[in-house]
Every structure is written in structure tokens, then in C-alpha cells.
Amino acid sequence: MLYAAPPHPPGPQGEVRRPRLRVLDGLRLLAALMVLAYHYITLRDGWGDDPQAFSPLVHHVSEYGWLGVEVFFLISGFVICMSAWGRSLGDFVTSRVSRLYPAYWVAVLLTAAVLTVWPNVRSADNWETVLTNLTMLQQGLGVPDVDDAYWTLFIELKFYLLFAVVVFRGVTYRRCVLFCGLWTVAGVVALKSNSDLLSVWAIAPYSPYFIAGIAFYLMYRFRPTVLLWAIVAVSFLLAQHYLRGRLVMNLGAKADVAQGWPVRLAVLAAFALMAAIALGWFDKLQWRWLSTAGSLTYPLYLLHMYVGFTLIDLLRDRVPAPVLLPGIVLLMLALSWLVHRFVERPLGRKLRTSMQKSVEEMRFHSRAKAVRAPAPPVEKSREIVREERKPDAELLR
């Protein structure tokens, strides 16, 4: 879903030259594996006669895997700001569409096919639902997701659309700070405003992570300031406010007060890690395999849930859980590599090229229309009018 950008050249506003951020790719894959652990171990109690097929420690740790989503949103704010810097709105839209949709289309169709052939865990509803899911806009239309993991994509899309306002005017330090401030205020007032429209776009439980990510990137690109640290601090405190609700949402009756502190400490650790990245502590970590691992994250997230659930249901009575789970994870990683290698890269490249041509044509027609437009009339001075009237005056004599 996210890419690290190349190093930044020094600029006139205090920009600092940085190397490629491979550590973000590794962090993305770690977040995806956290979500997998939560789904496969905690959420899916389908391991034969023993729902506690794994050790109590493994089962307990997996209960916090849903926090991988929060980590994704934190990274997204950082990377989207980084990738949008210096780009036009057309380039930004082209980049996002060509990056998100090819793997997503394959994941929707493959998941629907698996659920149609083996409806053991869940059915694929109907093909109208599947076709609507291909737009990635199904939540806005009230249509269920083919895979429940897709709920985060609509939140990402809303963030992209909001940040597109900044991209339209040109991404600058000042505009990013203003965006962070306005979005924070919107999230705070949304709950008391009784406005459904504001609540939909404020995304209050998750916006603090995107906002903190943007502030961390500004620290990374320029330098830390009191203002940026204040944005991060407020975002962290607001994120803490919503963690209790998130805990109940993901663990239900299992949630208790004792589990709240590990969740809060985990979010604190995620913020601290992003702060270390923003301060350049991981600049020398340049392992190339991290970028390869990061490229698997998006297709892995899209494919793992109901395809994995179906495999667990089909094989749980034949293969021991400690063997089956790593096997399914490895299978999902291999499938993710195939989607990345043979779908994301070639189809994404073609889609990006086609969209770039469309954007250029739109720009060309806009310029051509501007050239063909007649020049506005210019009011003539009295002296010019008097000179133009002289021949007529001569004829009247």
C-alpha cells in the first residue's frame, strides 16, 4: 500500500538530505503479520476440538494484533505526505489509483471465487455485491465487503481525498501544518456537532494516526520543532482516548481493564518508533530485503482473511495447528509475491501510463481552450477615440 520515497535533496527551507527509508517497508510487513495473527488465532476459534491450539502466551499476544491497523494508518500519514511532495494533483491521483486497484481487483475476485466454491466459513453473497466491491466504494453505498479486512481501505480513501486538497494547492510545510490543525479540530467537534457529514470525514478514531504521521514526516524532511512535537503529542493523546472503544470492538466480552494498558503501551511504542525514524535513527538500515518484504504487505493484507479462514476450516482436522498456521502464512506470502510480481507491477505500470496520458490530454485540451478564448475587450482611451474619429470629422466639412 505504501512506498518509501528516494532520498530528498537539500532545499531552501531547511530540508535535510535523507537516504531511502527501507525500515518503513519492514514495519509495514510487521503490522500485516500482527493483523494475520489476530485474525488466524484470536478471531478464528476454529482449530478443531481445541480452540486454544496454541500456547497461552501465543494466544494472548495475538489478541493485540489488531493494533497493526493503527500502525498502518500511522505509516500512511508519513508516506502519503512524502510521496505527494512536489507532485501535481493529477500525478497524485494516478499514483494512488495505479497502486491500490490492480491487487485489490485480483483479491476481490479470488476471495469471491474461494467463498463460492467452499462456502464453509462464509458465502460470497451475490455477484452484484462482488462487482460493487471492485469500485472500493462499497461502504459508502452500504454494500457489505467481500472480505471484512477491506474496511480500512475506505478510511484510507477518505484520507487521500482530504489530503488531495493540499496537493491541489501544492504540498508545503505550512499547508501540511494547517491541514493537521483543521483535521484535528474537525475530529474533536464532530462528536458534539450531530453532523453525520462531519463525522464521516473527520474519522475521529483514526485521524490522529494519519495526522501524527504527517507531522513525523515534516520532522524527517525538515527538522523537529516544538509545533510538530505538539501536533504529535495531541494526536497521541486523542488516539489514547479511542483505544478503549477499539479494544471492546475487537475483543468484545474478552476485553477488560487489565488489557487496556498493554494496548496503550503498544501505541506508545509505535509512536516512539516513528519518532526514531523521523529523527533519522534508522537511516543506516539499508537491507534490500526489507523493500522486497514491504512489497508483499498490500496483497498479503487483501488476500489473507477469508482465504486463510477457508483453508483452516478445510485442513484443521488433518494438520496440527502449530504446523498448519505457519504453512498458511507461508502460502499467503507466496501468493502475495505472485500477485505483486505478475499483477501489481505489470498491470499497475500499464494503468499508470494510461492515466498519465489521460491527464496530459486533459491538460492539453485545457490549454487549447484557453488559447482559443477571445481576448477580453479593452477600453479605449479618449485620445485614441478622438484620433479614430478625425477622418469622419474631415468628411463632414
Averaged pLDDT of the chain: 87
**102 vs 107: CA distance, rounded Å:** 9
Backbone angles phi, psi at 259, to 5 degrees: -80, -15
For the entire predicted model, the pTM comes to 0.87
**148 vs 305: CA distance, rounded Å:** 8
From the CB of residue 57, how many other CB atoms can be counted at a distance below 10 Å?
8
C-alpha cell at 246: 477499539
Domain positions in the chain are 23-352
For 9-54, what is each residue's pLDDT tens digit? 344 445 555 677 899 999 999 999 999 999 999 876 556 555 557 7
Helices (H) and strands (E) in the chain, counts: 16, 0
**What is residue 363's predicted lDDT score, i.e. its pLDDT?**
81
**304 vs 309: CA distance, rounded Å:** 8
- What's the whole-number mean pLDDT along residues 207-235? 97
Buried b (16+ CB within 10 A) or exposed e, 96-105: bbbbbbbbbb
Residue that wins the pLDDT comparison between 370 and 337: 337
Cβ atoms of 116 and 146 closer than 8 Å: no
Which amino acid is present at 180?
C
C-alpha cell at 329: 502464512
Which amino acid is present at 392?
D
**What is residue 378's predicted lDDT score, i.e. its pLDDT?**
53
C-alpha cell at 240: 489514547
For 279-305, what is each residue's pLDDT tens digit? 999 998 889 899 999 999 999 999 999
